[in-house]
Structure 1
C-alpha cells in the first residue's frame, strides 16, 4: 500500500513538473503575443466618423463598425445582470479563466487534436476580441488564457466589463451595446426596458442566429432563457420577470438614423477629411461639426423636393411601372412580393390597382394594406407627350389607371397617398451666411441614394441672366449709372472669338429701344447686356470679375459672357452673390466648423474670413499681412481674419437697389408673396431653356437655386428661372426669414438721389411731371438742365433752378 502511494506521489510530482514544463514551454511560445500593461491600458476602439450640424444634430456616420463607446458608470444595471446571466455569472469571482471550461478544452485537445471551443469567460472574450483572432487553434487558446490572467491582474473587473460592453459584435455592423440599442431599437441604451436588455444580451453567443430582426422566434427563446437565468440568480423578481417575458419582440433594423437628412453634405465632409486621414478616418472616432443649420437644412430638403415634384407634375404622367391584371386575383403575399420587387423612392411605396370607379381607385400597398385613392390624388396626371406638351386633363380615374396597374405613390398631407412617378428633372440649393461664408444648407439633388452626383459643387452649368449683375457691377464701377441709356435694338456682332456673326435677341424677340440700365437689368434685356459689355470691353470685364472669385481662364472670352454662357456651379454663383449681400466683401464658403478627436479635444477649428462691420480691427505687423479683427461671437470674443473689400459700397448698394426692383417689378415678382422689402435677386434662364436659376439675398443670407436635367435636355416651353427655380427659393426663404428681422444693405452716405427723365436718363427739367428718382454716386450725378422759358409767370430760369435744387435737396435728405 505504501509502495503504491509512493508511486502515486511520484507520478503526481512528475505530472506537476510536466504540466509546469508544458506551461512554461507554451508560455515561451506565445509570450510575444501577450500585450504589455501599457498596451492594455492604451486600448483604443475603432469608432466611426460622425458628422453633425452646428446645433449638434447627426447627419452622417462613416465606418464599418457602428460603435458608441460608453463608460462602466453608464451601463444600466439590468443590462449588466443580463450579460452576466447569459455569458459569465461567475465573472466577479473567477481569476479570468473558467477551470471547468479549461478542462473541457484540454479533453478536446487530447481527443481530437484541436480546440473546439468551450468555457470562455467575459475576460477571455475581451482578450480574444482585442488582441487575437478567432481561429480555433491550440496556440490561440492558450494565448487567450495567458492574456486573460494578465488582464485580471492589471485591470479591474469594471474596466474589463467596460471593454466587453464596447467591443463585442452584436450583428448589423453594431459593435458594443450602445450601438446595438440604436440599431435594433432606434434609441439610447438608457431608454430600453428589461426585455430589450435581455434581447441584446443574447446576441454575443451568435449574432446571426439570435438576431431579433432576422430570427425573431429564436431570439425570443434565448431572451426568455436569459430572463429565467436572471430570476434564478436573484437578479430580478418574479413580477419583473413575468412582465418581461410577456413583452412582444419590438426590434427593427433602425441602422443609425440621422436626425437631419443631409447626405450630400456628409459626403462632402467625408471626402474632404479623407484627403488628410485616409482609411483611418473611419475608425479614429472623429466628430465633425459643420456649419449646417438643422432647421434650414430640413426646409431646404422640403423646398427642393416640392419644387421638383411640382415641375414633374406640370409636364404630365409618364405612365405606370407595369400592368399585370392577373396579379389582382393572386394571394396577398404574392402581390406583396411582386410589389416589393419594384424599387421606389424613400418613404414612397409601390401599389397594385385592384379596381376603379370614376372618382376613386382601390389599391394594394407593398406592405399588404388596402387603401382608397381619391380623385384629388390622381387628377393631375395628364398624359406626358414631351417636355413642351402634355395631353388633355383626365376626367375620370380610368383615363389614368386600370385594374392591374403597378404604380408609385408618395405621402401627401391632403390625400394621404398621391399618385407619383420618379422625377427625371433635378434641382440644387445652397444657402450661405454672407458675413463669413458659412454654408447653412445644401441640397445637391432630388435624391442622394439614387444619384450621388452633387450638383451644388460638381455640376458646371450656364447661369444665363443670373450672371448679369456681375456685368452690371463692372459697368457701375467704371462710370456707368443706373440711368445710363443703351439702345435695345437689333444688332449684329462680328466677334473674332465667335464662329459666326451673332444677332442677340431678348426673350420673346421684342426690342424696347433706348433703355436705362436699371430697367434692362430688372427686365433682363439681353441686347442691352451685350451692347454694354461690348462698350466696356471683354478683357477688362474679365479682370474685374476676379473680384467675385471667378477665374477669367474659365470664363468665355467673348460677348456671350454678358448672357451668362460661362459654366459655373451653384456654389460659385452663391459665393459671388455674397459680395452683393455683405456690402462688397469677398468671403470664402466653408462647411466644417470644427473637428474633435475621440476624447472630445478640438483638433481643428475654423477661422473664416469675416466681414468686419462691428469688430475691432487689430494692428498688422506688416502691410502685406492679413488684417485680423476681434469679433464678438456667440462663443465669446474671437480673433478672425477680416474679409477684403472688393467692390465699392456705392456700387454694391446700387446693384442691391436694382435687384430689389427685380422682385418689385421684374422677373422675380413671385417673391413678393414673402412681403419682404429687404430681399433682392435675379432670375436666370439659358436661351435654350436647359438651365433655370434664381439667386437672391438680403443683408445676411444668400440662396441660389438651380433646376435642369443632367443630360442637358431643355426644361420645356414656359419654364424659366421664375417658374422652375424661384418657387423653390421662396419655399426655402419663407421659413428662413419668418423669424428674422429685416436686413437691408447699408446705403452709403455718399450716394445721392435726384429726379431724372425716365426716357433719357438725364436730369429732370424743373416741374417735369413724369420725372422719377434715381440713385447716383456724387461724381456721376447728371448735370442740371436749363430751360429757356420760365415754367410759371414771374419765375425765370435762375429762379426755377434754385427752386429745383431746393426740392431735390429736401428729397435727398429723406433718402
Structure 2
C-alpha cells in the first residue's frame, strides 16, 4: 500500500533552522546592496559637486593642444587654425547616422547616461563577445570628456567617471540632441593634426562633407576611436575594416540598406584621397621647420597615454635655431650639391648629456605635412656606423682590446657559407691595428673582431645602448644594423659622455587642461666603462682628422669631435645595373662634448633607375653634419675628452696609443716598454655561424698607413687652457638656443607655480649642459605656460 502522508505535519526543526539562516543571509546581502548603493550614490553626489564648469565655449571650441619649444615659445597650435566649424544643418544625414550608429545607437533615447548601454558593455567585456564597436560611454559623455577632461589612461578613475556622467546629464538638459551631435562632429580629433570632420573632409579628400560618398563619410565617422591606426594613407587595411564596421552598424540601426552597405564596402578606402593637403597641422610660421619633430613628439605623447585633442600644453626639447639650421641645410644649402629633389635624408640631433632630442629633420623638398619621417625609420642598414657599436666597442669592453690591437685584414668567408667578405677597394692589408681598421673602415677586421667578441655579447652591448631587435643578430650585422638616426645618435652620445646611455626623448613637460603637470626626463644608465667610451672616441677622432680617415669631409676645423661613416652596397645580383662603387645608403654619425648628430642619406626607391649614390655623393651626409654641427657648436665651449684613470697611454711605432690598465702582457708602471700581442689575440670566443649575407656592406677607403696626426691631444683637462671658442664657420643660419630671443608664451590666463617657475637663459647655464643622471617622472598640479630652462 502506498504510504500515507500527513498534510498537516509540521516541518522538522532542522528545516526551520535552515530556512531561517537563508532568510538572514538574503537580508544581509540585500542590506549590503542597499548600503553599497547608498554609499555609491553619496560618493557620486560628492564627486559631482566638485565637477568642473561646462560652458558653451568649452563644448564648441576646438580644444587644441599647444606645443612649445625649449624656450617656451609656441611652435604649434594643433587644430586651432585649421578647423572649419560646420553647423548641424550642413552636416550630411548619412554622417550623423554613421556617427550615432557606431558610437551610440541609443543616442536619441537616453538622457546623457545610458544604463542599458553600460550593462551591455560590461557583459560584453566579461563574456568576451564584444565586437569592439561600442563601449559604455554615451556620445554625450564622450563630448564632455573631450571638452573638459584629460583623456590620459591614468585619469580613468571613478571620480572622473562620476563627474563625466553628471555633466553629461546637464548637457542633455541644456542642449538639443542635434546641437550635441554638432558639437561632437566639430570637436573630435581626426589624425594628422586635424580636428573636426569638416576639416578632415578637406584634408583627406579636398572636398567639403556635403560632397563625400557614403563610404567616405563612414570612414570619417569611424576614425575618432583611433585616428592613427585608422589613417587610410598608412594603414588602409585597418581603415577598411573600421569603415565596414561603421556601415554594418548603420545597417543594424536601420538607417541604410544592406545593398547600400555592400556597394559602399566595394569602394577602395584610398579612392579619392588627396595627394596634397589644403589643410595642414598648423598655420604657424614654424610649420615647415618642425614637421618631423612635431610628428615624433605627437607619437611620444600618445605613447605616454595622452590624446592630442585634450587641450594640453606640451613643452618639448626643441632647439629652434638648430632645427632651422637642419631644415635649411637640407633644403636650401648653398654649399651642398644634392643630386636631385628625390635625394632624401633623415637626421637627429641629441644632447649627449641628457638624451634630449633637440632637432630632427625627416625629409627634404617635401611639402606634405606629416609625411614619411626618415629620421625614425629603421628599414635601412646603417653600414659601417655599426662597427663602433657592435664590433670594436664590445671588444674593448669585454676583451680589453687596446687601440693598437693587431687584427687581420685577410681573405674571409662567413662561417658555414661560401659568401666572401670584401672591402670597397677589393684589397687586403694583412695584419693591422684596430685603430687603423676603424679609421679606414675596413670590413674584414671588424667581422673578425665580432667573431672574437661573440654575437650574443655584442647584442647585449647594443641593448645597453637602447638597440633591441625582434630577431637575433648575425655576423653581417657587424657592418650594418637596421636602426634609425634617432637610435644611433643616442647610442653614439654614450661614447661622447663617458659611457652613460640616455633614452632619447622629445617631451619634457605636459600640462593638462585641469592644471595637472607631469615632467619627464631620461634616466641615465651605465652602458659601458669610461675607458671603452674614451678609447672608441679617441679612435673615431681619426676618422675625421687622419689623412686616411673615411670621414674627413665632415671635419670642422678647430673643433674636438669624433664620428663614423657608413655606406651600404647593392646586392651582388644588382651590381651590374649601377656604376662601380655605387651605394644604396650613406650615413655619418658624429659628436662633440655637447651634441651627437646622425644622418642617413639616400633614395626612398633605391632600386629605381638612377637612384644610386656615387662615391662622391656618399660624402653628402658628412657635409650635412659639418654644416649643421658647426652652427650648433658656434656658441658652445670646445672641450676635449679626458683620459680616464684606468686608461694608460703608450707609444707604438711612433704613435700614441691607449690600453686599459692590467691588459695581458703589459706593465702598468712602464708603458713605454709594452709589447704587442698576436693578431686576433688569445682572448677569443667560439665563432658565431651566420647565414649568407643579404647584401655586401662596404666602405670606400684609401690605402696607406694611418698617420699620427693631431688626434693625439687626448689627455687634456677641462680647464680654460683646453677650452676654445669654435669659429662660427658655416653656422650663420643657426646655432645654440642660448642666443634665442626672449621666450614668448600664449596669452592664456595661466599662473606659474613656485615649484616650476621659469628661469632666464644664459649661454653658460642652460639645461642642455646639465646631466640628468638620476631622473624620474614627476607630477604636480600646475598651470605654468612657460619653461625657459632649456
Q: Which protein, 1 or 2, shows the higher relative CO under an 8 Å CA cutoff with sep ≥ 6? A: 2
Larger radius of gyration: 1
Q: Could you state the TM-score of these two structures normalised by the residue count of structure 2?
A: 0.49
Q: Could you state the TM-score of these two structures normalised by the residue count of structure 1?
A: 0.47
